Amino acid sequence: MSQSAYLVVAAALFGLGAAGVLLRKNPLVMFMCLELMLNAVNLTFVSFSRSLNDVGGQVSVFFVLVVAAAEVVVGLGIIVAIVRRRRGASADDMSLLKG
């Protein structure tokens, strides 16, 4: 019972994150939603690790954390570069490319 509760929470968090990325317009908020998705995955890994009694899942979490940190650095770099060119950029302003 307890394990499935964790999995449900993780799935709900993942869904919230995914909905946030699709619905929000501020790139920074989209960013936070991406982080929420990754952390939902971490929660899933940890709860499986506990129920399988296997340390591999917890090791995976560290890899995910490192990758998420690297992703943040690059993403923020791109956002800063854009905001420098035009203030208050939102995802709706990113409409130069379409067709």
Partner 1 sequence: MVGLLAAVKPIATPEVVWSALAPQLVMMVGGVLLLTIVSLVKGRLGRGAYAGYTVVVALVSLASVVPLWRRLQDSKGGPASLVGGAVGFDGYSLFLIATMAVGVALAALLADGYLRREGLEGPELYVLMMLSAAGGGIMASANDLIVLFIGLEILSISAYVMAAMHANRVSSQEAGLKYFILGAFASAFLLYGIALLYGATGSTNLAKIQAFLSDVVLVHNGMLLGGVALLLVGLGFKVAAAPFHTWTPDVYQGAPSPVTAFMASVVKAAGFAGLVRVVVVTFDTYRLQWKPAVFALAALSLLVGSLSAIVQTNVKRMLAYSSINHAGFILVGVQSGRVGTAAVLFYLAAYTFMVVGSFGVVTIVGGTGDGRHHLDDYKGLARTRPLIAAAFGVFLLAQAGVPFTAGFLAKLGVIQAAGQTHNWTLAVIAMASAVISAFFYLRIVVSMYFDDPAGDPEVEVEGSPLVPLGARIALVIAVIGTLGLGIVPGPFTHLADDAVPVITAAGR
Q: Measure the CA–CA gap between 88 and 84, rounded to whole angstroms.
A: 9
Site for partner 1 contains 4 (CB under 8 A): no
Among 23, 28, 70, 90, binds partner 1 (CB under 8 A): 70
Site for partner 1 contains 21 (CB under 8 A): yes
Q: Tokens at residue 44, please?
A: 């899933």
Q: With contacts defined by CB under 8 A, how many residues of the chain interact with partner 1? A: 43
Residue among 74, 18, 70 nearest 41 (CA): 18
Site for partner 1 contains 32 (CB under 8 A): no
58's CB contacts (< 8 A; 6+ apart) are 45, 46, 49
DSSP three-state, residue 51: helix
Interface contacts to partner 1, rule CB under 8 A: 7, 14, 17-18, 21, 27, 30-31, 34, 37-38, 40-41, 44-45, 48, 51-52, 54, 56-57, 59-60, 63-64, 67, 70-71, 74-75, 77-79, 81-82, 85-86, 91, 94, 96-99
